[in-house]
Amino acid sequence: MLNDTTRQSIADKIHSCFKSCEQIGLLTKAYPEMQMEDSYRIQEKVVQKFVDEGRRIKGYKIGLTSKAMQEMIGATEPDYSAILDDMFVNEGAALLRDDFAMPMVEVEIAFVIKKRLQGPYVNAAEVIQATDFILPSIEVVDFRVAPEPGINVVDTIADLAAIGKVALGGNPVRLEDIDVRNINAELIINDEVRESGNSAAVLGNPVTAVAWLVNKLSEFGVAFEPGDVIFSGSCTRALPVHPGDKVTARFDNGLGDVKLSFE
């Protein structure tokens, strides 16, 4: 375990990387004694620095929702991060590649919360009752901690679970009108389908992922609040993007498309 002074020093470095779009080396190499709790406490400190600058938490992302991804990065459960207000961009926005260190894109289903929800022991039924509607979304993944060989979940959690930006589609669908366990999605880059997947890849059911997160957050005294947007995890691999790329996330079952471009 790390002491609080070291945790704060790491948080300061990661916060600076957000501003400079530069990367630092693996935390687990520099601090081999670093553990999972250290990572989440560092993440809290990074988020708090942004809050102190006037930003607000507007939601959370869940990562590592497939067993394959967990095994690849040495995790036994998903991870998560808070999402700040200025990480949300408009659907159709043109983003600058140079505003990121190492951008990649993936497709997700986002849950919009309508009433306060706090764990522990929240189940799927309570998640459904607390959800106003779902939306299609794109997450732009980015890495302040460079994903070098040997990277593991302890590195990524401290780096706000590699959150960059998120974009929401404008076609809300209520859970009672859709089988959220069976939504097909495609990741299209420059009019070519590059990845496809099904929502069942997200812990078998995205509702299960959201329930996991609210129960996990309860360990840190955090609850979902009305209006929070919860990104339930990707059902496709993340792919890199470059200047000139046009990205579309396409969902069936009436959710429709979300688009972004990069300059």
Using the predicted structure, report yes or no on whether residue 72 has a pLDDT greater than 80: no
- Segment 176-191 mean pLDDT: 97
pLDDT class for 77, splitting at 50, 70, 90? confident
Is a pLDDT exceeding 90 seen at residue 216?
yes
* Three-class SS of the chain: CCCHHHHHHHHHHHHHHHHHCCCECCHHHHCCCCCHHHHHHHHHHHHHHHHHCCCCEEEEEEECCCHHHHHHHCCCCCEEEEEEHHHEECCCCEECHHHCCCCEEEEEEEEEECCCECCCCCCHHHHHHHEEEEEEEEEEECCCECCCCCCCHHHHHHCHHHEEEEEECCCCECHHHCCCCCCEEEEEECCEEEEEEEHHHCCCCHHHHHHHHHHHHHCCCCCECCCCEEEEEECCCCEECCCCCEEEEEECCCCEEEEEEEC
**Full-model pTM:** 0.94
Q: Where are the domains of the chain?
A: 4-262
Res 73: pLDDT: 63
Q: What is the pLDDT of residue 70?
A: 59
The mean pLDDT of 17-35, rounded to a whole number, is 96
The per-residue pLDDT for 237 is 87
CATH 3.90.850.10 is held by the domain 4-262: yes
Q: What is the pLDDT of residues 39-58, one digit of tens each?
A: 999 999 999 999 999 999 99
